[in-house]
Chain A
Amino acid sequence: MSQSIINEVKKASKKSLKARDNELASVNKQLNILNGGLFADGELPYFKDKISEIGHYPLKPKKLEILQINVGYMCNQVCEHCHVDAGPDRKEIMTRDTMEQCLEVIRNTGAHTLDLTGGAPEMNPNFRWFVEEAAKAGIKDFIVRSNLTIIRANKKYHDLPDFFKKHNVHVVSSMPHYTRGKTDKQRGDGVFDKSIKALQELNERGYGMPDSDLRLDLVYNPSGAYLPGDQAALEKDFKKALDEDFSIQFHNLFTITNLPISRFLDYLIASENYEDYMYALVDAYNPSAVANVMCTNTISVSWNGWLYDCDFNQMLDLKVASKVKHIKDYNEDVINDRNIIISQHCYGCTAGAGSSCQGTVA
């Protein structure tokens, strides 16, 4: 691929696929790619066939543990790999009415973890009200996925570390590498310095310190067409480098495999890495990861209240295969008695040590 095409893709990628009218903004187009090509030709096995071999088809949920709510696709960043296709131009934002419906569920759920994500969840105008109300429900682990730069993006967000601390929020933040070059390449110029500053501010509040209850975890996902390395080894390298260079502390590093959907799929195809990447995912298929993939203990709620098996299925608009499909009709027992919808992107969660929003699973 020529440098000029790469530059064109990079220039265009400052906007979401949706804003660019890119054909991959269509979920049908994405599903056609995932179900066709190498898989339709029989070169690679369908995910369904692989999990059938070990008796896991249809894939069924276990006990619900994590309620993951996506409060909107608006974000201050436009990361190249983003499976949400988030960005400043996305206007899908959860309304207060839908938040009320979520709160009703949060108060009654059997899940022990509430996981707020986006976009940048903090950009939802009702974010703080929602956190205050949700924190009252006394869920054991209350996660906010913060991209860090939002804390430095605008004065109105500068007090977020104090706000998180006040509500004992567990902060989970993306950090693709401990070097400036790799971080900025994936997430945009200046992201590294802003992220470092935000991490230092969180540390100052006690977040991420070795014996602190204020949990600060980092998320690593590869900046390109390759799978994440060993989670423990990467955590060790991140801890050493961030401590030595910036005196930054954090608790755990979660490695997450990039799934071949949305902007990452666009990148794979444009860079002619799609086939190799799918081979790598299928080669790395680990049957022992299947039983613990996150869709077996998570429900994902979209900005407009629809329910999905995971955040990836949400982006592919594959709503849960259940009579209950919307948060307003939520019924945990009914939802838990469903078959999980799968496609070839699911290989991303079963590769190597497995992958989930909480890191490895096998």
Chain B
Amino acid sequence: MPLVTRRTFLIAAAALAPAAGTAARQAGGSISHEQFMQLSRWLVGNHQLDARTGAVYLDALLAVPDNGPRLRRFMGAAAIAAEPADIALQATIVEWWYTGVYTVRGERRVATHTGALMWAASGTVAPGSCASAFGAWSRPPRTV
């Protein structure tokens, strides 16, 4: 289960909502960057999330007109991910954070390679980065 519960997420989201009232996005029926990061943390669990990557993802999501109101609805008291389209959108957000790859206007792009959550979640580091001391790969993984 996510480490941030749905209840604590809703409390945090409610607290953030007034503070973000001046955001142009919010005025347009969407959510602020801070709210998106909060939503993301609730969806992916106990990971450090990069704010700039979050901004890239939010911009990409808002390029689809339906996404703004849907994200806004996630911040309210309505049931989270009650509809198939809501579930799909939340899955998209999770997938983007884990793979570092997102889609905007039909084009897949890399937001981050080293910051993709799947590496840390897999117990390793992104290929192309020095992982450890020489020979560490011969030792058991941390799960053993």
A pairs with B:
no
A interface residues (Cβ-Cβ under 8 A, vs B): none
B interface residues (Cβ-Cβ under 8 A, vs A): none
